[in-house]
Each structure stands twice: as structure tokens, then as C-alpha cells.
Chain A
């Protein structure tokens, strides 16, 4: 019997995955993504002026939240959601009822692989999430579950089952995700290297998680993906995804979950203004020198077996160890707790 033609094959996880998009401008970029994303439900988080109307392209099934909605739904807990920063996207994670989330920025377009074919980024993320990770031992041929790859000689058999994958971190062609100082020094550098690999980030190793092209298992790690306090009224910006990534990795390592990075690529079209970025990142650049050792040595209690509990533990550690650096961290620590409370309120089954 001939295999079903592509149009008869239902998009994978169609009813189990939400796509969360923060936007302050418009959603024109969705037109290009239509063939890959239209079957899925969108959660649009509208940042900035709530009186502005954001037009969603015809044919997409979506729910949209502006700041008024966020304030109404969360009440006083809305303080944990950033304003005038893409960090607000995590509100979408909070209200989603699905098992998986794919989040993408509104300046990210469909990229092409070296053969010229358009990349279905979501399909690759799904493959990454539905196959195990291997954080306990590095495989030199990268993700062994990919077609065409495998575990190499010397890889212990007892570790070949892997662990569940909680996060799939994708990359970007064209405008690379550089910090402001690097952007200033290399304004013309473009990432044109297509690295055909997915790999697990080993246990105990931290990484800079970019929120532009990210997917995760909300049931496994959702509560850890709080994007912090950034933007309006905050002393720092462009560290939202970094913060979420460090917290999530520490917790994933503690709970025996995996984080993958590599494919898929998207095409990042917009280079933000490096001078504006520098102002936002400035404090983060030297604060991170203390933040990184903090996360590298963060030890969570053995008894903490849920993400929420781990996150609460982390918030206490943040208050204790990072609080002395700046009052911002004390506020952040409080809002981390607010976030978990909001999560438990909106997701009662998850308690």
C-alpha cells in the first residue's frame, strides 16, 4: 500500500502544542510560516500599548492577550510579567493548556538548508523533544537518535536510553545573537554556517539560552521558564531568556531532564540597535560575572522533586546569594515566587 501523501498526514502534536509569540509591532512574519504553523494554535502576547490592534493573518487560530488582559487575569500577580520587553512571552506559557510550547520572535523567518529547502523549524523541534537526551556522556557523533547518527564505540550501553528532553534550543542564520559589545565591534558579521547537528548540553554545563527559537515540554519544565523582570522600570534588559535558561538548566540537571541545542535554524532578519542594546545589557554584563558562578554552584535539596519546588528553592538562593549584589535581585526573587504562585493558580493540576 502506498504511504499516505503529505497532505493526509496530520501535523505532529497539532492538538498538544501551542505557539507563543510576543509582539509589539505586527505579525506579518506569520505569512511566511503559514505552511508549517497554520495547523497549530497561537498564543499572542501583545506587549506595549494595549489600545493598539495587532492584526493576526487570516486563517490562524489564536488567542491574544494585551497588558490589560494580563492585569485582569493575574491581578496583583501581574507584577511578575515584564512590560516593554519580550520577556512578557512567558505569560503565554502560563496560560497555555498544552503539553508543548514553541516560541518564536516576530522577526524570525523561515530559513533554507544548504540544499535550498525551506526548514520546518517546528517539525525539527518536535523531533528533538520526542527523542531522548544524553546529558551524562558526550556522544561525539552528536544526537544519536537522529537519522543517520548513532552512539559511538565506547558509549556505555547503560546510558543509551537517555533521559526525557525538556528543552529544544534552536539557532539562527543571518543576524547572530550577539551581545551589544560584539555587535558594535562586528556590525556586519552574519552567521552563514549551517551546522547540521543537534546535541545534548551535558549535565552540569550551563549555556546562554536564546528565546528567539525555542521549544519545550511544558509539563516537564514549564514552571522554570520564567523570563524574569526586564524592560520598563527595570535596570536590565536582554537577559530574560538567559535567566530562564540558567534556572531551567540547573533544574533540568537536578531532575534528570535533558536540554538539546542545534537544529533547527530560523532566519533572523532584524538587527537590533547595538547602542540601545548596550544600555539594556550594561548592568547584565558585569552582573553575569557573579550570576554564572552562582548558578554553577547552585545545589538544590535532594527532596525537591518537582519543578515548582526546585524553582522556589532557587528563588531563596537568589535572594540569599545574589540579593547582596543589587536590590533588583531581591525583587526578582520575590517575583520568581509570584510566578510560581501564578503558575499553580492557573494550572491547579500541576501542584
Chain B
């Protein structure tokens, strides 16, 4: 067992939502990086075929399927754990302090010498060092080797605050929306921006679920599987669940005085799907976003909400009251958020329910 950045390997769960049944290429690609950690693989309940995992892997994996989800969650919940939302089940049943979650169509990036770049280590570095959301540092993350706070940065703000969420990026197939990718079908992201930075307080951002890590103890309940598009699909172009969840998490972090970082690490995202096909479904998500952004930006939570679950409960109420009328999707999201908080209270801690 080793310790990196004062975080022990045993404090981490790698949570993978399996939307593909054949995980052999994925697991082979990640073997050298993931092998020291415990893995939770949650199979999309809609996936009919059995999961295929390479034989003889030396690391510890727990695999959860529809039957586990049904057992723990029951049938009376409004939360749907299908598609990309299956990974939230992994977040729920994990008992580790930190979670790293990467989509199953991503592989590690190779550097100039063909060595694999380890995104888990970078995520942990991001989470283990303070965030600085109250003043922008022009040399980006001041805790990185070779960087520091610049002239003019107030000294009282230099100790920073705890970083609760680390949002990584993607080379090759970037997380663009369907209209953008459809317009430029050949466009791939080849720019490696060597920076991590804190997203300033009260600044909203689109948090992609493709490559993230978080402090489960501090913000676990705030990542919630709530907003489902009616035509939600099995490619990122056909979902908004992570974008909605991300807005909730950012509001919660800003309220609780926790930091969110964005930038490194990168993962390599394989080509998949057809943006033009997905356009038909994604329009709904795009329309919904237009409404919710101003609403999230003006959200002020009450002082009595001192924990993530209280924040989510309060937000859920407001979603129902203030947004529920404009689109049934919001009403359903509010229900899901309330169910999620209850679920978290019931099985989010204590002995594992699976």
C-alpha cells in the first residue's frame, strides 16, 4: 500500500459505469494504472449481455448489476440508474473517501515517450492540494511544482480551501455537444493544456462526468442522478445528467466553502457514436440548459444547510417549486433529488448494503 499526496490507496474507489459489455480492451488499457486500487464496476441495467472482464486480473473488483441495484434501491424510487446514471449507484455504495470515475470509452493518454499518463494520480493531487476560488491566480494552480502565487495575490487567501471536486479533460473526442460536433465532424481535441486551476467561487461551469474525481465524504450526495432527457441515450451527446449534477455540486461547493478544480488530467476518449444522429435527441437537453443556468447562478442556499445532503434537499424543493412548472423534466429531477437524499441517508453510510 502506498501513499501519494497523503492519500492512501485504500481510501480510493475507482467507479466505472459499464455501458459496454466487453470491458476487456478498457481493462487492459487501464490495468497498470488501476491495479493498485479497488474498482467498482456498475453494469448499466439496460445492458443485456454479460460483462466480459479479462481473466487473471490482480486487483480487487466489485461488480454490481441490475439485481444489486433493485435490491438496494427498491422499485419505489423515481431515480433511474440506467445508462450513464448507473455509476451513481457505485458512488452510493462506495465506502471510500475519494472516488475517481472515468467513462468506459476512455483510455489513458500517452506522453511523447509513449508512457501512460496516470490521471488517477493527478486527480488525487488536485484533491489533496487546496483550491483557491476567491481570487484568480494568473499562473494557475499555485501548488504545482514550479508555480506559486503571483505578485498581488492577497496573503490571507493563500492557504486556500479544501478541494472537493476535480474535473479532468479529454483528448481526441472532446466533450462537445451534438450540434457542435455535428457541424465539425472531424474536429478532435489535440491541445494538451498543461494546467490545473480552481474555478472561481459563484462561477458556473459545465461539469462533464466523463473524467472526474471527488471527495465522497464532503460532496458525495451532491452528485445526483436527477435530470433525465426523455430521449436519453447511451452516448454523452444524448445526456444531461452530469451537467445537471455538476451545477448542483458547484452550488453546493460554493455554499459549503469547498473548491472545484478543472484542467489536468486528460484521458483519451475514443471515437464513438454519430453526432448527427444524436442531434435529434440532444435538442431537448440544450433547451433545458438555457432555462436552468440563470436559476443556478442566482441560487443562495440557507445558512442552516451545512452538509451536502441538506443542500441537495433544499435545492430539490426549489427545483420543484420554481422550475417544476416550466418543464415536467424538472419536476421529475426534483423527485429524483429528494429520493436520492433519502437513499443516501439510508444506505450511503454504515455497513455496505450490497
- Which A residues form the contact surface with B (CB < 8 A)? 137-142, 148-159, 169, 171, 176-179, 182, 186, 189-197, 201-210, 238-239, 241-242, 245, 261, 281, 285, 288-289, 292
Contacts and interface: CB of A to CB of B under 8 A. Distances in A.
Interface string B117-155: 000000000000000000111111000101111111111
Nearest to A208: B152
B146 A193 contact: yes
A157 B282 CA distance: 13
Closest 5 CB pairs of A and B: A154-B206, A208-B152, A154-B243, A138-B205, A207-B136
Q: Max chain A CB contacts within 10 Å: which of B138, B169, B190, B203? A: B138
A191 B147 contact: yes
Contacts of A156: 289-290, 293
B176 A242 contact: no
Contacts of A201: 136
A153 B150 contact: no
A117 to B, nearest CB: 16
Contact of B193 (A153, A197, A281, A289): A197
Interface in B167-223: 167, 169, 174-177, 180, 184, 187, 189-195, 199-208
A193 B195 CA distance: 9
Nearest to A179: B151
Interface of B: 135-140, 144, 146-157, 167, 169, 174-177, 180, 184, 187, 189-195, 199-208, 236-237, 240, 243, 246, 262, 286, 289-290, 293
B194 A202 contact: no
Contacts of A142: 193
Contacts of A149: 189, 191
B206 A152 contact: yes
A153 B206 contact: yes
A197 B138 CA distance: 12
B135 A154 contact: no
B199 A138 contact: yes
Contact of B205 (A140, A191, A195): A140
Nearest to A186: B148
Contacts of A176: 139, 147-148, 150
Contacts of B140: 195
B135 A140 contact: no
B155 A289 contact: yes
Contacts of B191: 148-149, 196-197
A242 B180 contact: no
B204 A178 contact: no
Contacts of B138: 169, 171, 177, 207-208, 210, 261
A157 B150 contact: no
Contacts of B155: 285, 288-289
Contact of B135 (A138, A189, A194, A292): A292
A158 B291 CA distance: 10
16 contacts: A137-B293, A140-B262, A149-B189, A152-B174, A154-B246, A176-B147, A176-B148, A191-B147, A193-B194, A196-B192, A201-B136, A203-B203, A207-B137, A241-B152, A261-B138, A289-B156
A196 B194 CA distance: 7
Given A137-B203, A139-B206, A292-B154, 20 more contacts: A138-B199, A141-B174, A148-B190, A151-B177, A152-B208, A157-B290, A158-B290, A159-B293, A182-B149, A182-B151, A190-B146, A191-B146, A193-B194, A195-B195, A205-B203, A207-B137, A208-B136, A210-B151, A245-B152, A292-B157
A183 B54 CA distance: 53
Contacts of A205: 135-136, 200-201, 203
Contact of A288 (B154, B236, B240): B154
B199 A193 contact: no
A277 B205 CA distance: 38
A140 B190 contact: no
A182 B150 CA distance: 8
Given A171-B138, A289-B156, A189 B293 contact: no
